[in-house]
Structure 1
Amino acid sequence: MREDEAVTSATAPRPRPAATSGTVPAEAPGAVPGAAVAPRLIATDLDGTLLRDDKSVSDRTVAALAAAEDAGIEVFFVTGRPARWMDVVSAHVHGHGLAICANGAAVVDLHANGKLIGVHALERADALSVVSALRAAAPGTSFAVELTSGIHYEPAYPPFQFDPAASIGTAEDLLHEETPGSADPVIKLLAHHTTLTPDDFLDLARATVGDFGSVTRSSPTALLEISALGVSKASTLARCCAERGIAPEEVVAFGDMPNDIEMLAWAGRSFAMGNAHPAVVAAASGRTVANNEDGVAVVIERILAGEYGGAGDVRE
């Protein structure tokens, strides 16, 4: 299935709901007396958020996710990873079978071995425009092309994770197709620079190629991820929630890097991890402890215990 429209309004920061906008029954999952809305969905990033630095999921976090689902709260993994890199959580999938991958460009069914059930592709013409503009604005930029079938990259691009099926060539060659629409869809374009700082590279790229795609980053290095214009974690999460009749105010979101900002601004309650980028802290309505301290689990436990109903910092 191909998504033909992005929910672009989801990426814009919006006013937080007032705490007096209504109450929920005390018996509702996560209900707190006087709280505005009980959560119906938890949306969490993976790397630097749900996962510890060694890429493991702690027993405490697994238990907290299961308890949330037992209480009737859906769980969505929302990540920059492609579907083929979701093995880190495959052993911990219970009811939460759907995941939003590639920064919103794909929705996958983890119960069906990562089957793609929704794709919003980056048009190859737009990707080529990004390549051309960044080559001129930031000489030395190297590129990789993430397709629905796997990744392919330029000789100078550092292969951060070995993929024996990857082909190597110029971005122009990798993006070429004999007949329009005949090749696998482009999930995202990746751009790497060896000397620019990550945030400087991000600012430069957004100013240079913002008309052709959505630019973000999730790596501590100068590695950018470019999706179709208007596509973000927030846009696809908004679509998935709308399909389920879930309002933004009923969503609790967690993240740590710039690719999480739109999602955290969109959700009714959101938490930057203790290890989060400063811009993420500014976008979230609250803050929890770091990923290595199970910050997601800490918040979920508090919500389910009825000890936390609003925004603000949460500590052990």
Structure 2
Amino acid sequence: MPVTPTDPRQYADLSGIKIVASDMDNTLVGADGELPGEIWDIIRELKAEGIQFVPASGRQVATLQDMFAPVADGMTFISANGGLLARDSEILYSARLKPEDLGDIMTIVRDLASGGTNVGAVLIGEKQSYVERTDTAFVSEVQRYFHQLQILEDALEADDHIVKVGIYSFDGLDPVLPRLESYQQTHSLTFSADDWVDVQGKNVNKGVALEELQRILGVGADETVVFGDYLNDSELMAAGTHSFAVANAHPDVIAAARYVAPSCAERGVVQVLQHILDRK
């Protein structure tokens, strides 16, 4: 059933906004994988008004910096689903996984693969990302989100601090999740699609990273606008008083949001941001 976007006349006063944080896929980025063409000028206008635009994604920092290259200087990025908060070359916050946990998770993935499941893992670090699989199908899928990628015989040998393990299964997650059951109590498991699951430290998510940025900048939730579409955006949405679910969002995200923006296909994020700027 189609969801009707909120009439902008029902928005609260957004003139005091200091941070705009937006999810990427199916929120800002459309099905074609492209950012809306208007976003560059909008980000520049927001910056001129003292408003930080903060992309929030499961991607690595380098990928986000590539995507936003025309305006990336000085931008803050929430990457790795909240595992990293970075501005330019500076890491503002990092939620590192323990080496012993990494070893256990990789053992599970390797066991699944040796048992016939078409699965692989990518380790997302502060510097870049790492995989062991070399086949084109897997590497191509991973490189959609992780541009700086190194193939290692043993990914655990990476000289880096790892903040997230992304597990991708061509066979879906049904064979994978039972093996990760024990981690549901001790870690954060985040689902960004039907075939991707991320394993991170407990209580690591986009919302915690946004709250850390708010603390650094002295900005409150009432001065924050957030956009999202899926369950891995739930904590992000809770960190901003002015939360917008795009009309194509998961029903639970729509139910939790304060407002509904037009769909991603209708460039809903752009429409709301233009509304904010028009009233400055």
- The two structures have a TM-score, normalised by structure 1, of 0.70
- In the TM superposition, what is the alpha-carbon distance from 1:211 to its structure 2 partner? 3.3
1:98 matched residue in structure 2: 76
Report whether the alignment pairs 1:57 with 2:35: yes
Partner of 1:108: 86
Q: What SS does the aligned partner of 1:175 have?
A: helix
Higher strand share goes to which structure?
A: 2
Say whether residues 1:238 and 2:238 are aligned partners. no
Query: Aligned Cα RMSD in Å?
Result: 3.3
Q: Which segment drifts farther, 126-135 or 185-194?
A: 126-135
> For 2:155, which of 165, 174, 181 is the aligned residue?
174
**What is the match of residue 43 of structure 1?**
21
Structure 2: give runs of 5+ residues left out of the alignment: 1-9
Q: Distance in 2 between matches of 1:278 and 1:33?
A: 20
1:195 to 168, 171, 185: 171
Please, which of 26, 45, 50 is the counterpart of residue 72 of structure 1? 50
The Cα shift of 1:149 comes to 3.0
1:158 alignment counterpart:
138
Match of 1:269 among 213, 222, 242: 242
Question: What corresponds to 2:95 in structure 1?
Answer: 120
AA at the equivalent of 1:151: S
Q: In the aligned structure 1, how far is the partner of 2:53 from the partner of 2:213?
A: 12
Distance 1:242 1:203 in 2: 35
C-alpha separation between the residues in 2 aligned to 1:125 and 1:54?
39
Counterpart amino acid of residue 189 in structure 1:
V
Indicate whether 1:297 and 2:236 are aligned: no
The CA distance in 2 between the partners of 1:290 and 1:33, in whole Å, is 17
| Partner deviation per Cα, 1:186-213 (whole Å, 9 max, x = no partner) | 121011233335xx68975774312342
Taking structure 2 as the reference length, what is the TM-score of the superposition?
Answer: 0.78
Contact persistence 1:127–1:212 (CA under 8 A): no
What are the equivalent positions in structure 2 for 1:208-223 lying under 5 Å apart? 208-218=182-192, 220-223=193-196
Unaligned runs of 5+ in 1: 1-31, 178-182, 308-316
SS of the residue corresponding to residue 53 of structure 1 reads coil
Counterpart pick for 1:142 among 108, 120, 140: 120
User: How many residues are treated as equivalent by the alignment?
Assistant: 261
Q: Is the 8 A contact 1:99 1:109 kept in 2?
A: yes
Label 1:105 to 1:34 Cα distance change in 2 as closer, same or farther (>3 A).
Answer: closer
